[in-house]
Structure 1
Amino acid sequence: MSTAEIADNKWELEASRPPLATTAGILQIVVVAAFACLFVWMLSFALQGIFGAKRDTLADQYGRLTVDGKPPAAPAPH
C-alpha cells in the first residue's frame, strides 16, 4: 500500500464516524428526536380517533336538528 492509499483510508475512516461530540452533531440528534416525538404524538391522535370511544358531535346531530336549531322534543308517553 502506498502512503496516499493509507492517507485516503484514514480520511474515509474519519469521515464515516458520526460527529457526536460536536455541537452540530448533538443539535442534529435533538432535532431528529423532536420530529420523531412530534410524529408519534400526531400518530397517537390518529389511533385514538380510529380506535377510541365514539363521541356524539354536531355533525352526528345534523339529521336530528329542527328549524330553530334545537333537538326535537321527546314524544309524550302514552
Structure 2
Amino acid sequence: MSTSEIADNKWELEASRPPIATTGGIIQIVVVALFACLFVWMMSFSLQGIFGAKRETLADQYGRLTVDGKPAPAAAPAPH
C-alpha cells in the first residue's frame, strides 16, 4: 500500500465514526432524544383518547342543546 492509500483509509475510518465525544455530538444526541420523548408524549395522548374512558363533551351534547347553550333537562320518565 502506498502512503496515500494508508492516509485515505485513515481518513475514511475517522470520518465513519460518529462524533459522540464532542460537544456538537452530545447536543445532537440530546436534541434527537428530546424529539423522541415529545413524539412518545404525543402518542400517549392519542392512545389515551382512543382507548381511554369516554367523557361526555359539548360535542356529544349537541343534539340536546337549547337556545341558551345549556343542555336540555332530562326527560321525565313516563308514568306507569
Q: Which residue of 2 aligns with 1:43?
A: 43
Corresponding position of 2:76: 75
**Residue of structure 2 equivalent to 1:30:** 30
Unaligned runs of 5+ in 2: none
RMSD: 1.4
TM-score by length of 1: 0.90
Match of 2:56 in 1: 56
2: CA distance, partners of 1:59 / 1:35: 32
Q: Which runs of 5+ in 1 are unaligned?
A: none
More helix by share: 1
Deviation digits for residues 34-54 of structure 1 (CA, Å, limit 9, x no counterpart): 000001000111111111111
Give the aligned partner of residue 10 of structure 1: 10
CA distance in 1, matches of 2:63, 2:28: 51
TM-score scaled by length of structure 2: 0.87
Moved segments of 4+, more than 6 Å: none
